[in-house]
Every structure is written in C-alpha cells, then in structure tokens.
Structure 1
Amino acid sequence: MVKHKYYDLLLAAFIAALLCSNLIGAGKVAVIDLPYLGTVSYGAGILFFPITYLFGDIFTEVYGYKYDRRAVWAGFSALAFAAFMSVVVLSLKPDSSSYMSHYQDGLETVFGNTWRIILASLIAFSCGSFANSYVLAKMKLATHGRYLWTRTIGSTLVGELVDSSIFYVIAFYGIWAVDQIIAVAVAQYLLKSGWEVVMTPVTYKIVAWLKKVEHEDYFDWKTNFTPFSIKL
C-alpha cells in the first residue's frame, strides 16, 4: 500500500470539523439578512460542516474513492462514540450542589438532543458523503481529470441535497415546526452549495499542492464503489 505523507493529518482535521459541526453548531438556528431575500434562518453548523465536504472532495480527487470511504467510516465511528458518551455522561447522577444542578441542566439543554442529532448526522452525512464522492469520482473519469470545478461543485450539489433532505427531518421533526425545518433545510442547502463555489480557488490550490507532494492523482477506473468497506 502506498504511504502518503498527509492523509492521516487530513483525516484528523476532517473528524474534528465533523464533530464540531454536530456538537457545537447543529442545534442552534441563527439568522442572517440577505439582499432581496430578507431574513434567512440557518443552522450554525454551517460554519463547520461545509469543510467536511471540502475534505471529501480532496480525498476523492487526490487519493481516490477508497480513501474518502475510509474517512467517512472513521467520521461515522467518531460520531457514534460521541453520541454514546453523551448519553453516559448525562445519565451520571450529579452532585447535589446548586452549581452542579444548574450545570446538569445546561448539559441537558446543550447535549440532551445529541443522540438524535448524531443519529440524523450518521445517516444523512454518510449518505450525502458517499453520493458526493461517487459523483466526483465518476465525473473525474468522464472528464479525464479536467475541469476540476465541475466535479467539486457538481458532486457537492448532489451530496448536499441528499444530506439536507435527510438530516433536518430526523434531527428536528417534532421539535421544530415543519415550516421551520423546510426553511432551514433549504437555506442550508443553498448556503453550503454557495460556500463550495466560493471555496473553489482554495480547493484548486490545495488539490494541486497535494498532488505534487504526494505524487498521487488517482483515477477510480477499477474501484469497487460499495460503501460497505474500509479496505484501501
């Protein structure tokens, strides 16, 4: 197996961004005033989550679908562990002091819905990420490695559509009003997709640098695209 210099570091950064997107930002609805659109609601996780798709594009474009597949399963495992530990910590009996009583209330407010957010993210992110990676890998073959911008943006449009369609329904149905779920999901899709367009020059520079230093520009001609594997 080829040894890559930076894959492990990129994988660690990817998992950190994924955990932040789900544990810090996913539960908060923020608002922004946009020209012509007025006030738009969006999930604060957008500060982190699009970065994970940027990583997915880089993994697939430079190292190939199999390396991104392994990254998705590593992120899946990290999210599952975080969900399990949040349940364990919240279930521990707190100290009887006034401070700890309020602290417990705060933990339950922030992390009480973590299991549901994590479940939604596990399903939505894995489906969206595999769709993103598959589309990018196939488009790379179809274009013979040219027109990188078409596949980074095109694959993100597909992956984010799958992700946004699944995540908010599972995570917040019955908690938020249906019209709010739809509004936030649509806003998230548009903002995340727009973010990918804006970041295209950065993606180009990172991909070009990695291909040079890693001596790798993988084409998935003979790849088995099953998502149910971690083999390289």
Structure 2
Amino acid sequence: MSSPRRHHRYYDLILAAFVVVLLCSNFIGAGKAAEIHLPYFGSVIFGAGILFFPISYFFGDILTEVYGFAYDRRAVWAGFAALAFAAIMAQIAIALPVAPGQYMANYQQGMETVFGNSWRVALASMCAFWCGSFTNSYVLAKMKIWTQGRFLWMRTIGSTAAGELVDSSLFYVLAFYGLWPLDEVIQVAFIQYLLKTGWEVLATPLTYAVVAFLKRKENEDFYDIHTNFTPFKVKV
C-alpha cells in the first residue's frame, strides 16, 4: 500500500506556501479582533487570522494525505522555525534606536503596537500550531489506514476538527488572556474553531482536486503503516 520515499516535484513548493501562510496568519491578522453583524446571530467577534490560518491546515492535510506524516512533520518544524525567527527579528527591529523626526516616532509607536507583544503571540502560536498540526496529521494518517484510503472528506474534516480544537483552545488563552476580557477570549476561540472547521468543509472539493492532481503527478499515495509518529524528528 505504500511506496518508497523519493524526491518529489511539488513538495518544496507546498512547504514554502505553507510557511508563508503561517507567517501571514500570525503577524498580519492574529492580534486583531474583528466584528461582523450576521442575520439571526447578531454581532460576531472573530480573529482576523481566520483569513489565513485555515489554509495552513489545508496544506497540512494535503501533505499528510499524499506524502505521509513524516513530510508534514518536516513542514511543521519549518513553520515553527520561521515563526521563531520572525519573532526574534521583530524584537530586534523594535529595539533599534529610532531616527529623529515625528514620522519615525509615530512609526515606532505603530511597530510597538503591532509587534510589541509578538513574543507572547509567537510563543502561543508556536505552541498551539505545533500541538494542533501534529494532532491533525496524526488523526488523518491513522484514519487513512482505518478507512483503507476511502472517504477523504471524512478524514480531512475529522482531522481538522481535532487539530483545530487543540489549536484554538491553546492559542487564544495563551496569547490574549489578560489582554482581552475573558469572555471575549472564549467567544473568539469558539468562533474561530467553528469558522476554521467550517472552512475545511467548504474547501473539500478543492482538497479533492489538489490531492488527485498531486497523487497523479507525483505517483505517490503514502500510507503511514510503519511510521514512527514521534513529533521530535525532522528526517523523512
């Protein structure tokens, strides 16, 4: 049911896209709580990171389904390292002496507002992302064996529901407890979980199309029958 590990044409591209989306989700939208008004539901508060983050789970599902758990594990560690590097560089940029002038003074204030808590956001994100992504990949890999490769929709939705539950539960508490009111933290985390899982449901046709394309082009459909599922390695 499995094939030998080898070089893949599209893996590096997917890994790069995965890391870019992850960085965008954490440094563009993660710190902003937005509000929309929906019929019947009224005001709904959600984190702007919802625009980006579900796409990383989309890539995670594709990597595990086509290439296997080990290749997704490498992508998770690449994303983890990118987040750590971005957080360090953000703090260095903030700490550099500011040039004279009102424009740069305002610019510095804006940087501190957006990136001033980047260590806390990054650490919370890395912890939540690490735990949630490995949960997602593990559940999908095991479900693929249990279902003998059938019911892709069930595997992607089920694994995302498990991974997002772990991720959303951890991230908003670790990142924003004490900064946001507690009821807002809980509300945003719950809404994020529903939206991210719902996004996976809506993306199912796209997932099918991309997975079918990659399996055909790569001649790969890996089953993690003898995989070592430890998250603490990078080698595939």
TM-score, structure 1 normalization = 0.99
Q: For 1:194 and 1:37, how far apart are their aligned partners in 2?
A: 16
Partner of 2:211: 207
- 1:38 is displaced (CA, Å) by 1.4
Partner of 1:64: 68
Partner of 1:198: 202
Give aligned pairs, total: 232
Partner of 2:51: 47
Indicate which of 36, 47, 65 corresponds to 1:32. 36
Q: For 1:29 and 1:59, how far apart are their aligned partners in 2?
A: 30
Q: For 1:34 and 1:142, how far apart are their aligned partners in 2?
A: 39
Deviation track 1:166-207 (CA, whole Å, cap 9, x = no partner) reads 000110011000000000000000000000000000000000
2:123 is the alignment partner of 1:131:
no
Q: For 1:35 and 1:165, how far apart are their aligned partners in 2?
A: 27
- 1:36 is displaced (CA, Å) by 2.3
SS where residue 159 of structure 2 aligns?
helix
Q: For 2:67 and 2:158, how far apart are their aligned partners in 1?
A: 19
SS where residue 25 of structure 1 aligns?
coil
Q: For 1:68 and 1:93, how far apart are their aligned partners in 2?
A: 40
Indicate which of 190, 193, 196 corresponds to 1:189. 193
Q: For 1:152 and 1:30, how far apart are their aligned partners in 2?
A: 27
- 1:33 is displaced (CA, Å) by 2.1
Q: For 1:10 and 1:217, how far apart are their aligned partners in 2?
A: 16
2:223 is the alignment partner of 1:219:
yes
Indicate which of 175, 182, 185 corresponds to 2:179. 175
Q: For 1:38 and 1:70, how far apart are their aligned partners in 2?
A: 42
- 1:50 is displaced (CA, Å) by 0.1
Question: Displaced runs of 4+ in structure 1, greater than 6 A?
Answer: none
Q: What aligned pairs does 1:78-97 form with structure 2 within 5 A after superposition? A: 78-97=82-101
- 1:34 is displaced (CA, Å) by 2.4
Question: Please, which runs of 5 or more residues in structure 2 have no aligned partner?
Answer: none
TM-score, structure 2 normalization = 0.97
Q: Kindly report the root-mean-square deviation, in angstroms, between the aligned alpha carbons of the 2 structures.
A: 0.7
Q: For 2:17 and 2:57, how far apart are their aligned partners in 1?
A: 12
- 1:131 is displaced (CA, Å) by 0.1
Partner of 1:2: 6
SS where residue 233 of structure 2 aligns?
coil
Matched residue type, 1:25: G
